Chains A and B, each alone.
Chain A
Amino acid sequence: MQTDTKQPFSSQDHILNVVLLLIGLLVALPILIALLTSFKVPKEVVTYPPQMFPTEWTTENYVTAWNSNPFGRFLVNSFIQTGLITLGQVVFSVLAAFAFSSLRFPGRDVMFYFILGSLMIPFELTVIPNVRLINGWGWGNTYQGLVVPFMASAFGVFMLRQFFLSVPKELHEAAVIDGASNWWYLWHVMVPLSRGGIGAFSIFAFLSAYNQYFWPLVITNDVEMRTTQIGIRFFLVNVERGADWGAVMAATIIVSAPTLLAFFVAQKQLVRGIAMTGLKG
């Protein structure tokens, strides 16, 4: 299927490349439309037939979006929720992956199968008891309620273990002979050597935490505790009352900005990580 890299591109290849670019633009079109719409003046948003590009660029929609809901609050909530979940998953997964890859102790392999097994249990099965549990603890509408159930990641343990296994065992042996503790070795040798893998997992964890929908929807009902993904619903309610789609599109761009930014910065690692593990995180 692939042409040899040594061959120069033929004109056929160039045509295919242009066609692929058009397909790519088509795929991204809904997001591009949202981006363009968000810069239109309100009356241009609802003209028929719809125009792709704004004739007059404005940031008015962003101001409207920002002021029409406690948007700053949603973002702060999302950052706290996402930051803590990501931190927890990365640190806890590093610890567990280290034990599975580099330490020997009875029961280790049984534990590993337990963790792998948990990957198979769908979220839907756990959500109802977890809501009861969290509300029972009085953690509804709190950050700990949003965060604590997601502090660990079986996927992360599995992925980081693969990375840790590729670090030569001799390094560990040498460090131990020199009198280093496992703890020291983990943080001073293993973690720095596995930066790429840990970085890739951090992005997965970040994206899936930030994009969470079901759990934040059912564990919060106080507007002040909603995350951005749930907050975006409030804009739709406004639209039904006749507010403007320009502001809604501005809101979707603001909500998506952190994930898009993370993606632009780390797209290579992210895509490679997906191709490697076959998982979305």
Chain B
Amino acid sequence: MTQRQKNRFLSTIEGYLYLAPTMIVLAIFVFLPVISSFSLSLNRQAPFGNKQRYVGSENYSKLLGEFAECFTAEVCGDYGYSLYVTIIFTLGTVPAGLALAVLLAVALSYPLRAMSPIHRMLIFVPVVISSAVAGVLFRWLYHPVVGYLNYWMTFVGLDGPDWLTTKRWALVAVILVSIWKNLGFNTIIALAGVQNIDNSYYDAAKVDGANVWQRFYNITLPLLSPTLFFLLIINIITSFQTFGEIDILTEGGPGKATTTLVYSIFDHAFKGTPQRGIASSEAYLLALMVIVMSFAQMWVLGRKVHYQ
């Protein structure tokens, strides 16, 4: 070996040594499971013990069958229903959450060049606390007898429901907590987007006599659209993966009213008799949905960077 080749060899070794710790951990706990959970998803676990039996695509066709029942039968099968719950949860959480965040961001950008520490702190605290703590706090606020929420509702003449124990309201309750928990994150990102908009647009619009609403609708919203798209995807992914709040608040119930796709995976894999084959199939389908959304996001953000 020439000296040059030797140096090249040594610097390659050096580079891989720096990468080794991260690559080894990711290989074992992220990449390997991608393969092993696929093979798990082709098996069924015997009811007793840990015996696996190869069943091919049976788990997947069972899930898709349960989904198809939504269209062919009176009621959805379990999987179809948890997909339905997830979609309702997402529709309830994301648009409302983003609208609130944009309103807050625009309002915050008016008097303040940068958010004052006190505003930032108040709005951001729910993001910092854990989903478990958020769940516990709202168990208390939703309490039908001593909870604050139903008491406040009496002020506006409303009779608060049994939030966590009625099928219809349990999902609403979980949606509200989720909006609340993510509001700070969304507001920070939206505010950064609003503050990136060049002031000269607004100055020009003011000269032309545009009012606040016109300026918001014709300048802020279009120029904020890349940020909004980013937030939209991130929020959909987050709501597809929400777990802790649901586990503490409702444990997927009452019945299956708040059993989202993630909760159903948890249910099948870790509660009662483990059914890890079917749970792995569900995880695979969920992962596909999340990965498609990630690609959509990269694609659009790539375009955004390109055009800047």
Contact = CB atoms under 8 A, between A and B. Distances in A.
A28 B122 contact: yes
A28 to B, nearest CB: 4
Nearest to B129: A256
Interface in A220-239: 229-230, 232-233, 235-236, 239
Q: How large is the interface on A (under 10, 10 to 19, 20 to 34, 35 or more residues)?
A: 35 or more
Interface in B257-279: 262, 265-266, 269-270, 276, 279
A130 interface: yes
A268 B120 CA distance: 9
Contacts of A98: 18
B171 interface: no
B87 interface: no
Given A27-B184, A232-B136, A105 B33 contact: no
Contacts of B37: 125-126, 128-129
A4 to B, nearest CB: 8
Secondary structure class of chain A's binding surface, majority of residues: helix
B73 interface: no
A190 to B, nearest CB: 12
Question: What interface size band does chain B fall in?
Answer: 35 or more
B11 interface: yes
Interface string A131-149: 1110000000000000011
A96 to B, nearest CB: 4
B110 A1 contact: yes
B30 interface: yes
Given A128-B283, A280-B127, A27 B14 contact: no
B228 to A, nearest CB: 12
Interface stretch (A15-23, A56-64, A165-173, A191-199): A15-23
Nearest to B284: A125
A103 B17 CA distance: 12
A92 B27 CA distance: 14
A252 B197 CA distance: 40
B266 A214 contact: yes
A122 B16 contact: no
Interface of A: 1-5, 9, 13-14, 16-17, 19-21, 23-25, 27-28, 30-31, 33-34, 37, 45-46, 48-50, 91-93, 95-96, 98-100, 103-108, 111, 114-115, 118, 120-133, 148-154, 157, 182, 207, 210-211, 213-214, 217-218, 229-230, 232-233, 235-236, 239, 245, 248-249, 251-252, 255-256, 259-260, 262-264, 267-268, 271, 274-275, 278, 280
- Which 3 interchain pairs have the tightest Cβ spacing? A24-B122, A105-B15, A152-B25
Given A107-B12, A120-B294, A218-B270, 13 more contacts: A1-B202, A2-B113, A30-B137, A31-B137, A33-B141, A129-B40, A154-B22, A157-B22, A211-B129, A267-B121, A268-B117, A271-B120, A275-B189
